[in-house]
Amino acid sequence: MKSIIKNINSDKILLFKIAFYACIIIIFGEILRDIFREGDFGGYISAGKLAWNNLPIYSDFRNTWPPFFSIVCIPLYWLNEVSFVGLRFIWLIAIVWTNLLIFKWIISYFTPYQLVLNIKQEENGEINLFNPLFILPFIYSLRIFLEELSNMQINVFILALSLVTLNLIIQKRDFLAGLILAFIISIKVYPIILLGFLIFKKKFKPVMFTILGLGLSTFAVYLYFGLNTGTELFKEWNNTQVIHGLKCEHMNQSIWGWMCGLTTNHIRIENFNYNIFHLTDIQFKIMTLCLIAIFGLYVAYRFYITRKSHQSFAKQFIITLSLVPVLSPLAWKYYYVFITPLIILLIYNHRKKILKRWFYIPLILISLTSELFIGHHLSDITETFGIITFCSISLSIYSLEKILTD
Averaged over successive runs of 10 residues, the pLDDT of the chain (406 residues) comes to 45 84 94 91 95 94 94 97 96 97 96 90 87 93 94 96 97 97 96 96 97 97 96 94 86 94 90 85 94 95 92 96 94 94 91 67 91 88 92 93 80
What interhelical angle do 255-263 and 281-305 show, nearest 10?
Answer: 140
SS3 308: coil
**pLDDT per position as a tens digit, 113-159:** 999 998 888 888 889 999 989 999 999 999 999 999 999 999 999 99
Within a 10 A sphere around the Cβ of 230, how many other Cβ atoms?
19
- In this structure, is the dihedral angle defined by the CA atoms of residues 271, 371, 92 and 216, taken in order, positive or negative? positive
Q: Alpha-carbon distance 144 to 117, whole Å? A: 21
Boundaries of every domain in the chain: 246-406
Angle at 59 between CA 55 and CA 62, to 5 degrees: 120
Distance CA 364, CA 63 (A): 34
Q: How far apart are CA 20 and CA 138, in angstroms?
A: 9
Q: Is the dihedral of CA 344, 384, 368, 34 positive or negative?
A: negative
pLDDT at 244: 83
H and E: helices and strands count for the chain = 20, 2
Q: What is the pLDDT of residue 120?
A: 83
Three-state DSSP string of 11-30: HHHHHHHHHHHHHHHHHHHH
Q: Report the sign of the C-alpha dihedral through residues 383, 349, 203, 103, in that order.
A: negative
Please give the pLDDT value at position 45. Answer: 96
Q: Nearest 5 degrees, angle CA 84-CA 89-CA 92?
A: 125
Report CA torsion sign: 71, 75, 78, 79: negative
Output the pTM of the full model: 0.94
